[in-house]
Structure 1
Amino acid sequence: MRIDLAGWTRDATQGDPRTFFSMFEAADRWGFDGVWFSEFRLSAANWPYPSPLLLAAALLARTERLRIGTAVLVLPLHQPLLLAEELAQLAFQSGGRLDVGLGRGTEAATLQALQIDPSETRERFERACEHLLSVPHPPLYIAGSTPESIGFAVKQNLPLLLSLEPPEERQLSQLDALAGNAAAGLRARSSLARYVCIGACAEAVAAQLDALWPRLYERRLFFAAKRGVPASEVAPIDVARTLREQFIYGDPAACHAQIAALRERTGIASLRCVFNANGLLGNDAALASMQLFAREVLPALKGPP
């Protein structure tokens, strides 16, 4: 099974770049298969890596086997001819270790700054994607939870980067309805995401989770406010449901069992593990969890089924 990393976006990318890069050099040594980075352009927050392709180039030069992916490149922001050329160069100089997740993007401020009409983003996205498919390209994935985006992925025979929210079952049911007999093959090539909370014992995991719930709720309030939703209308976190739909958690044996069950239930053989709760946990804690997972869980996942 392919086991990748994700979650280093926005504030989670802050800090000394040498320390940041060293985490993924360690992941390369420990046997993780890949890592995925997002694209957030022209942000007022001044996050240090707005270009995932420049970041990928740096990390590909520092690692030997780790794949680097974009989750996602926001296609409406790019000139398709130039983007195709850059992707081809990066795939070539990396020895074929580049994966490219593509998305339409919804950040209104970025679109406004670049004078892009939001009503044109789907057409721009589809036209750019079709161009990338018409020339030599690295492996491509589509991120999107709407019937339009999933239908486009089916039409182009491209796997999905399934998101944590909405739960992937909703996305997979749409995939099954739209793809028919081709759904199983697309599922097998697609990628799931899960928060991973691992510890040596159940008590250690419970302590991590107890500290995480209020932070997750604060983030839910923040993004709700950005959409104009008042705090009074934001539902509290349903812990049991969130654990079931978004987490791999427990000691190493429990984590392995949950991943095996997830693969059996979904037919998907690629998992993006978020050890830092998308930046809510510090890098030291995430690195310790990654190391425990690599030592105790990865060997079983990489062995014979």
Structure 2
Amino acid sequence: MRLDVAGFARGGRTESHERVLHLCEQVERIGFDGIWFNEFHFQYPPQAYPSTMMLASAILARTQRLRVGTSIVVTPLYHPLLLAEDVAQLHWQSGGRFDLGIGRGTHPATLMALGIAAESTRDRFEQSYGIMRDAWATGARIEEGSCWPASDVSVGPLLAGETVPVYVAGTSRDTLGFAASEGLPLLLSLDPPEGAQLATYHTILAEEGHACRLQASSLSRYVCIAATTAQAMAKLDAFIPRLYERRIASARAAGRPADQIVMPDRQTAMARQIIAGSPDDCVAQLTTLQSGTGINAARLVFNGNGIVDMSAAIADMELFGRAVLPALRG
């Protein structure tokens, strides 16, 4: 099972850039396979890392084995020819260690700030991927009638004989259907939990006959780990209310209704979003999750997306690396 880390470098400049880079070196040393970063623009207070691609470049230069992924690049915000070049450069610089997660994006303030109509994001998302895919392989031109001005400047082939790993994040039937039709694996979300996404995806596969790409997909879980089950449950009980408050604040910031968000009990949280317990508990839960979903990769969030102090999160990652990673890898 591929086991990655996510959730760091969100928020403001509470941690120095050097410490963030050192964290990534620690993630590699502990033995995780990759690290993922989210893209947020025009936040207040300002985000330290609105550009996941620039951050990825710095991390890839400081590591030797670790993969770096974007979860996600909001492709409707970018010109696809320039984005194709940037991704190809990261692929080349890193020796193929860059993973591109893409999505439509839903934050209305970002779209408004850039003058992009929300109703255009589906077309921009789907057309952007097609242009990038062609640019990486045989060369691409933008034709009349697309979301960007027509261009007769061919870009590519940029990666002779190579491919960039591309994942799709999304919860709507349109986006999941696009991923299925293009044969792209999924980046499944924590919020909402992936159950509804998987049900929709399986329905699409049954109706349209596409190949299933879940084995290559990735899901996500918060992690509350401790030396004993009792200690981990105490951490979990303190974590759930803070996570609930964070979800309420995030929904309001994105302009989504928050009145339907309910704080889960311990059992529900563990069933949908959280791996919690002793190292042996974590091994059992991840093994069950893998066999139940058919998904062989997980993005693990040790810091609660900024809720947990970085030092505490690193200590938990160290314990996970000593006692869980070896068991999951045979």
User: Shorter-chain-normalised TM-score: which range?
Assistant: over 0.9
Question: How far has the Cα of 1:182 moved from its partner?
Answer: 4.4
Which deviations, in whole Å up to 9, do the C-alpha atoms of 1:45-96 show, x marking residues without a partner? 2111110010000000000100000000000111100000010011001000
* TM-score for both structures, normalised by structure 1: 0.94
Q: What is the Cα deviation at residue 234 of structure 1?
A: 4.3
The 1:83–1:208 alpha-carbon spacing in structure 2 relative to 1, beyond 3 Å, is same
Distance of aligned partners of 1:197 and 1:81 in 2 relative to their CA distance in 1, 3 Å threshold: same
Runs of at least 5 residues in structure 2 that lack an aligned partner in the other structure: 137-162
Alpha carbons 2:224, 2:276 under 8 Å: kept: yes
1:170 lines up with 2:181 in the alignment:
no
Q: Deviations over 1:155-185 (max 9, x none)?
A: 10000000012221211111111123645x4
Match of 2:165 in 1: 139
Alignment partners' CA distance in 2, 1:228 and 1:148: 20
Contact 2:36-2:68 within 8 A present in 1 as well: yes
The CA distance in 1 between the partners of 2:33 and 2:273, in whole Å, is 21
Distance 1:234 1:178 in 2: 27
What amino acid maps onto 2:246 in structure 1? R
Contact map agreement 1:28 1:66 (CA 8 A) in 2: yes
One-letter amino acid of the counterpart of residue 114, structure 2: L
- C-alpha separation in 2, matches of 1:228 and 1:17: 32
User: Residue 12 of structure 2 contacts residue 46 of structure 2 at CA under 8 Å; is this kept in 1?
Assistant: no
* Matching residue of 2:154: none
Looking at structure 1, the residues matched to 264 and 278 of structure 2 have their Cα atoms a distance apart, in angstroms, of: 23
> Normalising to structure 2: TM-score of the pair?
0.87
Larger Rg: 2
Give, as a single letter, the amino acid of the residue that structure 2 aligns with 1:66: L
Identity of aligned residues (%): 46
CA contact (8 A) 2:237 2:266 kept: no
Mapped to 2, the partners of 1:14 and 1:72 lie a distance apart of 22
Distance 1:37 1:188 in 2: 22
2:91 counterpart letter in structure 1: A
Determine if contact 2:38/2:72 at 8 Å carries over to the other structure: yes
Letter in 2 for 1:114: L
User: 1:246-270: CA deviations, max 9, x gaps?
Assistant: 1111000010011111111011100
Higher helix share: 1
Match of 2:102 in 1: 102
Aligned residues: 301
Q: How does 1:20-59 map to 2 (within 5 A)?
A: 20-59=20-59
Q: Does 1:149 align with 2:183?
A: no
Between the two structures, name the one with larger relative contact order (CA 8 Å, sep ≥ 6): 1
For 2:281 and 2:12, the matched residues in 1 are separated by 27
Q: Distance in 2 between matches of 1:230 and 1:158?
A: 32
RMSD: 1.6
1:219-245 C-alpha deviation (Å, 9 max, x unpaired): 1321343436466x6433333211111
